[in-house]
Amino acid sequence: MRKIFTIVLSLLLFPLQALPQFVLCGRADVGPALYRIQVLEEEEVVQQLDMYGLRADGTFLFIKDSGFAVKPTISAARGDGDFLSYGAGIGYYIPFCGDHCYLVPVIGLNWTDLTTILDELDIEFPIVTTLRDVGEEFLSNSRYVGFELMCQVCESFWTTFIYQYAWANSKTFLTDPFFPEGKSVIDGATQGSNFALAFDYYFKDNWSVNLAVGFNSSLDEGRSGIRGYGAKLSIGYSFK
């Protein structure tokens, strides 16, 4: 009877034994960030917004001995406008050069909400009319593919190059008494490249200071859209 019980229990536990071992390890960092966003029409800058705020990034690995990682990010800033961006990617760490370098292919999604006031807006209705102090809210969602290349320069110093190519769908809401019902909605579709370069210095086993700079461009076929610059100084913590 005891042998039968042992066999039955082993059969019941076998599926659990076959499951991957879940762990929580990775890295998170947060710190102040500066942003400059330029609105372009046919490659000409028609509006520039300077903002400051916070940005947080994370890398979380949940399966032991697996290179798969979830990489969430969130940014919030104020200044010439209000800016909120958040999203997440899924990547896979491929080590080389004796674990001193990693190549990380990534795919992901991002959402952005930007609100500001347009000092002037020229529209044709039926002749050119200039509107002033027009409320503007820009909402977009984007899909991206890319990679990260991480290299250990020395024992305490890492550098990371990031590249992404993104496709975005957007809605721009313009608010002014001139428009029917006080609002106009413009749909858009843009695409473009994002670049970033980050430097990490580990001053303790699990703690690091991070400096990162970035650039992105998202334009439509008429070369109109948004171009952005950013910089971040943050404190990071790695956990196992």
Amino acid 176: pLDDT: 84
The structure tokens listed for 111 are 């959402």
Consecutive H or E run containing 4 = helix 2-18
pLDDT of amino acid 101: 96
Residue 22 has what DSSP assignment? E
The pLDDT assigned to 11 comes to 45
CA 28, CA 24: separation in Å to the nearest integer? 12
- Residues 64/20, Cβ–Cβ less than 8 Å: yes
Per-residue pLDDT of the chain (240 residues; tens, 9 = 90+): 445 544 544 544 444 444 456 777 899 999 999 999 998 888 888 889 999 999 999 999 987 678 899 999 999 999 999 999 999 999 999 999 888 999 999 999 999 999 998 877 777 766 667 778 888 889 999 999 999 999 999 989 999 999 999 999 999 888 888 888 888 888 999 999 999 999 999 998 899 999 999 999 999 988 888 999 999 999 999 987
Residue type, 37: I
Tokens of 105: 């292919």
Which pLDDT belongs to residue 125? 66
- Residue-range domain boundaries for the chain: 20-239
Distance CA 4, CA 147 (A): 53
Give the pLDDT of residue 16. 41
The 3-state secondary structure of the chain, one letter per residue? CHHHHHHHHHHHHHHHHHCCCEEEEEEEEEEEEEEEEEEEECCEEEEEEEEEEEEEEEEEEEECCCCEEEEEEEEEEEECEEEEEEEEEEEECEEECCCCEEEEEEEEEEEEEEEEEEEEEEEECCCEEEEEEEEEEEEEEEEEEEEEEEEEEECCEEEEEEEEEEEEEEEEEEECCCCHHHEEEEEEEEEEEEEEEEEEEECCCCEEEEEEEEEEEEECCCCCEEEEEEEEEEEEEEEC
Res 3: pLDDT: 56
Q: Could you tell me which residues are beta bridge partners of residue 86?
A: 74, 111
Using CA atoms in the order 94, 96, 98, 100, what is the torsion angle rounded to 10 degrees? -80
- Does CATH place domain 20-239 in 2.40.128.90? yes
Contacts of 185 (CB under 8 A, 6+ apart): 171, 172, 173, 174
